[in-house]
Structure 1
Amino acid sequence: MLATRARATVAVVGLGRVGASLAVHLATAGVGSLVLEDRGTVLTTDVGVGAYRLRDVGAPRDIAVRRLVEDVAPGVVVTSGTDARPSVDVAAAAGPPGPLPDVVVVVEHGAADPERVGRIVGEGVAHLSVVVREADVVVGPFVRPGLDPCLTCVDLHRADADPCWPQLARQLRARAVRVAEESSLAASAAAVALGQVLAALDGLVPRAATAHIEIPAPDAVPRLRETGRHPRCGCDELARTPPDGAPLPMSGRRRGAD
């Protein structure tokens, strides 16, 4: 198990309190390589247990998280997005091509960005969505392209229930830039996300592969919401026609299964 984690690379896109804490805990859990992507700087509202210190305020987020990781797990290889493979939003700037991460975790605010999701699915990379909202954090789904319902499936199901959802999602994304992440929700969300990523790396099927996990304020007690494929989404085609050069999706068994 630990040997597998040591060979793995996980990318974390979005380094607020949730992303920063997740990156540090991935490192201490034995993940060998991290790719960090966030072009923002550390704000005073980012400071908190498990994440940034006051000394980090004003520093680039990716550099500050790199320092945090080096303090607790100096053997972990940490790469900033600007130095990594120009793909899956882990490297927005051109850089030398390299291998894709095993898992990408995308932490966003308001609602998930469908264009970013489409690019990651197109690369055939396993990924976990984390969306910080005003009164809760949603962790999931964890998507192994071609195997699991994707974020487009989730959006289509939601639009079926509420035709106004697509417009509302656009509004949420537009007004949610750099929203402060409440400390207890951030800590709980980072812990839940950590468990999903480690389950995948350890060869299990993450529980969020067919669900998303809502962590509400004020109690931060996770609540599971099952989801499934949407008939109008073509994500299941990836199982039959994977992208050229894409890694095989992670497979495994559910925790506790025989």
Structure 2
Amino acid sequence: MHPMLKPALRRAWRGRNTVQFGVTPAHAVTLGPVDIATGSFLELLDGTRGLPLLREEARTLDLSDRHVDVLVRRLAEAGLLDDPRAAGPQADVLRHRAEVMERQRPDVASLSVVHPGPGEGLRRMAARRAMRVQVRGAGRVGASIAAVLSGSGVGQVEVLDGGRAEPGDVAPAGLPAAAVGERRDTAARRLVRRAAAGPAPRSTGAERGAGDGQPGLSLIVVAPRDGLSVYAPVPDTAAPWIASGTPHLYAGVIEATGVVGPLVLPGGTGCAGCLELHRADRDSQWPRMLAQWRSGRRGVVAACDLGLATAVAGLAAAHALSFLDGELPASTGARWEAALPLLDWRSERIGPHADCSCGAAEHAEGEGASGSVPAQDTMAG
């Protein structure tokens, strides 16, 4: 091990013998008591020395080997240490690609803060590069999500959409103005390639799906240009994803209202069918109105503010990445909404419905009141 204090966490002395690592409450840690010699020793933890050399240099500061070992262990347990030589063979390949590492150094630093184990930041970045995500929609929201996921290190990002790009699809984080008139899927593929830090790694046999040699889908992001399909998604559309156990996340904008979620874990959380049934329970006229809205647009113009669309895309991409990195973000089984002009984000739990065929309600009954959701094989951790 070559211990290194995580460079992403700023250091400051809280007093004469206490050091604080980090600024924000979510990740800040205090360490004490720390004397002057130990404070000087902390400066040696830069990843260039192994433990034998650190013990040797610590002796010149009148610090015992035991003191060094205990301090290193405490720092590691507090999530303050990284190891630039750890993380496994996939990370080794990534580490030797200087141009990729320079682009994604801030992302790796962020992962190192969120996932405290030494080498975890680089390991999870390497895991992202082996994943395959599908984004359904190449409008202001969908194309931007695809670009962010690609730029964040996801190895394969597919974008599905039909028709040709229109001026209203253009967004600074998404399709460029030059794409107007071009097939949306073609323009989106080019956007994804341009956003990537480097070419995707080749898949191993163990990672490939049984059919086409592609890695299995880790996640589907449903971000259609028609915001109604996010606010009130059609259950039949999601039926194949429920059947195959593919996690999927909804995101979009409808009538100046941004929507992120739910993230559906098939068999574990409420799905599109549960959402529709719950709404019908609260409003008996909902199915009647929904049928009218779905039957024809009658010249409806999408009220999709560019700033709101960009915010939704960023939040949705962050939730997707959190899931891919092995966590369960706040959109899991929940939907977040914010409407202009106040933009006050609020969440609504989407629980399993007893009458839905997805089976999540039966699972919830089996789990009792724990509220747990099943682990997904597609996660990094």
TM-score (norm. length: structure 1): 0.80
Cα RMSD for the two superposed structures: 2.8
Deviation at 1:76, TM superposition (A): 4.6
Q: Which residue of 2 aligns with 1:164?
A: 285
Give the % identical residues. Answer: 36
Task: Answer yes or no: is 1:191 the counterpart of 2:314.
Answer: yes
Q: Which residue of 2 aligns with 1:100?
A: 216
Deviation at 1:219, TM superposition (A): 3.7
3-state DSSP class of the match of 1:208? Answer: coil
Which residue identity does 1:6 align to in structure 2?
Answer: R
Deviation at 1:72, TM superposition (A): 2.6
Q: Deviations over 1:81-120 (max 9, x none)?
A: xxxxxxxxxxxxxx95744311001123213122111122
Q: Which structure has the higher relative contact order (CA within 8 Å, separation 6+)?
A: 1
The separation in 2 between residues aligned to 1:162 and 1:131, in whole angstroms, is: 23
Larger displacement relative to structure 2 (149-158 or 97-106): 97-106
The separation in 1 between residues aligned to 2:378 and 2:181, in whole angstroms, is: 41
The separation in 2 between residues aligned to 1:232 and 1:180, in whole angstroms, is: 34
Q: Deviations over 1:8-49 (max 9, x none)?
A: 111000110100000000011111101110012110111122
Q: Deviations over 1:197-233 (max 9, x none)?
A: 1111111012111210112122434221122111212
Q: Which residue of 2 aligns with 1:249?
A: 376
1:86-125 alignment to 2 at 5 Å?
96=212, 98-108=214-224, 109=226, 110=228, 111-125=232-246
Q: Deviations over 1:112-159 (max 9, x none)?
A: 122111122112100011243213122111011111111211111110
Larger displacement relative to structure 2 (25-34 or 98-107): 98-107
3-state DSSP class of the match of 1:204? Answer: coil
The answer to whether the 8 Å contact 2:250/2:262 transfers is: yes
Higher CA-based Rg: 2
Q: Which residue of 2 aligns with 1:32?
A: 155
Task: Answer yes or no: is 1:204 the counterpart of 2:327.
Answer: yes
1:1-258 alignment to 2 at 5 Å?
1-73=124-196, 75-77=198-200, 96=212, 98-108=214-224, 109=226, 110=228, 111-176=232-297, 179=302, 181-236=304-359, 249=376
The answer to whether the 8 Å contact 2:268/2:363 transfers is: yes
The answer to whether the 8 Å contact 1:203/1:250 transfers is: no
TM-score (norm. length: structure 2): 0.55
- The 3 A distance-change label for structure 1 pair 175 and 74 is farther
Which residue identity does 1:28 align to in structure 2?
Answer: G
Query: Which stretches in structure 2 are left out of the alignment for 5+ residues?
Result: 1-123, 201-210, 365-374
The separation in 2 between residues aligned to 1:72 and 1:136, in whole angstroms, is: 27
Instruction: Detail structure 1 runs of 4+ shifted over 4 Å in the superposition.
Output: 95-99, 237-240
The answer to whether the 8 Å contact 1:104/1:126 transfers is: yes
